[in-house]
Amino acid sequence: MDLQSQILTQIKKYQKIVIHRHQRPDPDAIGSQIGLAEILKASFPYKEIMVVGKQIDGFNWIGKMDEVDNDAFNDALVIVTDTANAPRIDDRRFDQGDQLIKIDHHPNDEPFGDIMWVSTMASSSSELIYDFYAQFKDQLELSQVAAHALLAGIIGDTGRFLYPATTPHTMQVAAHLMEAGADGAAIGQHENEITLPVARLSAYVYEHLTVLDHGAAYLVLTNEILRSFNLGDAGTAGIVSIPGRLKSVVSWVIFVQQDDDTYRVRMRSKGAAINEIAKLHDGGGHPLASGAKAKDEQEIKEIIAQLDQLTIDTAKGE
């Protein structure tokens, strides 16, 4: 039996299903979580389907979290979408259910769960959830709310179909989701909108980014700088992709200072795989979009040097 059939068998078996996603969610985390929940609600109306994790009001247009008590996990099936490793799962009760399933598109460096369906070829976890629905179309229902959530996830993780993970299949899935009632233009508008503080921080990024000779670029955002823009860590989501717009930049990293004075490291690349560098610094992720941690300025320097070396090696064709 393939993994998808095994997952459907488990879904049919359980009366209670709790769906989790990762901390600090993005549209794909919420979209894949809500999309799967709405497919299951429409397909199995007599089952109890719950979504958990921190309620993020900025994503209410995709869907809201449920308030779930501990008893809900008794004899429940737990499914975690879009989350590479167990420490990042939002709502730490994920291990309190009877069975645990992982559905994800990040490299499976830190496996967890009784069943794992991981496909790094997919643009997003939302694309995988659509593929799951499509495989069992005769048994599952795709509601308009589900379609909208899944398209939100795909549009989010592909940078509005800009990133190389966008395949012909991604576009076909997006078309099917729009046929099922997802409003592509409204989603694009939601995900394109920024606040005035983020707009002003964007100007700061363009002005202060350092670009090295071989196309590695970096910027350090201290708490002081973030405060001066009236922003916190969450506000940096809207500016991480900005350096990639520069022709001369091939790989980049933005260091975001945290309250404990360590730094969140947000790395991106147009070609060379940067997740190996992220793994050296308590992180990981996709080849072209990774995250890590830097404990101090010394580690920041090391990461910049490693990124610089990567762009030098890439330019030499190594």
Specify whether the CB–CB gap between 268 and 244 falls below 8 A: yes
Specify whether the CB–CB gap between 62 and 34 falls below 8 A: yes
Q: How far is the CB of 176 from ligand AMP (least distance, A)?
A: 25
Candidates 62, 77, 283, 308; binder of ligand AMP (CB under 6 A) is 283
The token pair that represents 118 in the structure block: 């991981």
Stretch that binds ligand AMP, among 55-63, 119-127, 277-285, 297-305 (CB under 6 A): 277-285
Candidates 43, 124, 290, 314; binder of ligand AMP (CB under 6 A) is 290
- 284 belongs to the binding site for ligand AMP (CB under 6 A): yes
Q: How far is the CB of 281 from ligand AMP (least distance, A)?
A: 9
27-43 and 144-157 helices cross at what angle (nearest 10)? 160
Length of the chain: 318
Q: How far is the CB of 205 from ligand AMP (least distance, A)?
A: 14
Residues 228-247 that bind ligand AMP (CB under 6 A): 240
Query: 318: Cβ–Cβ under 8 A, 6 or more apart, which residues?
Result: none
Specify whether the CB–CB gap between 48 and 98 falls below 8 A: no
DSSP letters along 70-131, please? Answer: GGGGTT-EEEEES-SSGGGBSSGGGGGSSEEEEEE-S--SS--SSEEEE-TTSS-HHHHHHH
- 27 belongs to the binding site for ligand AMP (CB under 6 A): no
User: Interior CA angle at 153 toward 149 and 154, to 5°?
Assistant: 120
- Closer CB to ligand AMP, 106 or 214, in the complex: 106
- 251 belongs to the binding site for ligand AMP (CB under 6 A): no
- 288 belongs to the binding site for ligand AMP (CB under 6 A): no
Candidates 30, 174, 266, 311; binder of ligand AMP (CB under 6 A) is 266
- 221 belongs to the binding site for ligand AMP (CB under 6 A): no
Contact pattern from residue 186 through residue 205 relative to ligand AMP, giving x for each residue in contact according to CB under 6 A and a dash for the rest: --------------------
End-to-end, the C-alpha distance of the chain in Å comes to 41
- Closer CB to ligand AMP, 27 or 283, in the complex: 283
- 307 belongs to the binding site for ligand AMP (CB under 6 A): no
- Closer CB to ligand AMP, 179 or 232, in the complex: 232
Contact pattern from residue 78 through residue 97 relative to ligand AMP, giving x for each residue in contact according to CB under 6 A and a dash for the rest: ------x-------------
**Partner residues linked to 78 by β-bridges:** 18, 100
Q: In whole angstroms, what is the distance from residue 84 CA to residue 89 CA?
A: 9
Largest Cα–Cα distance in the chain?
61
- 285 belongs to the binding site for ligand AMP (CB under 6 A): yes
Count of residues interacting with ligand AMP (CB under 6 A): 13
- Closer CB to ligand AMP, 72 or 128, in the complex: 128
Specify whether the CB–CB gap between 14 and 77 falls below 8 A: yes
Q: In whole angstroms, what is the distance from residue 83 CA to residue 110 CA?
A: 10
Specify whether the CB–CB gap between 82 and 39 falls below 8 A: no
- 106 belongs to the binding site for ligand AMP (CB under 6 A): yes
User: Interior CA angle at 38 toward 36 and 42, to 5°?
Assistant: 120
Catalog residues that contact ligand AMP under the rule CB under 6 A.
84, 106, 240, 266, 283-286, 289-293
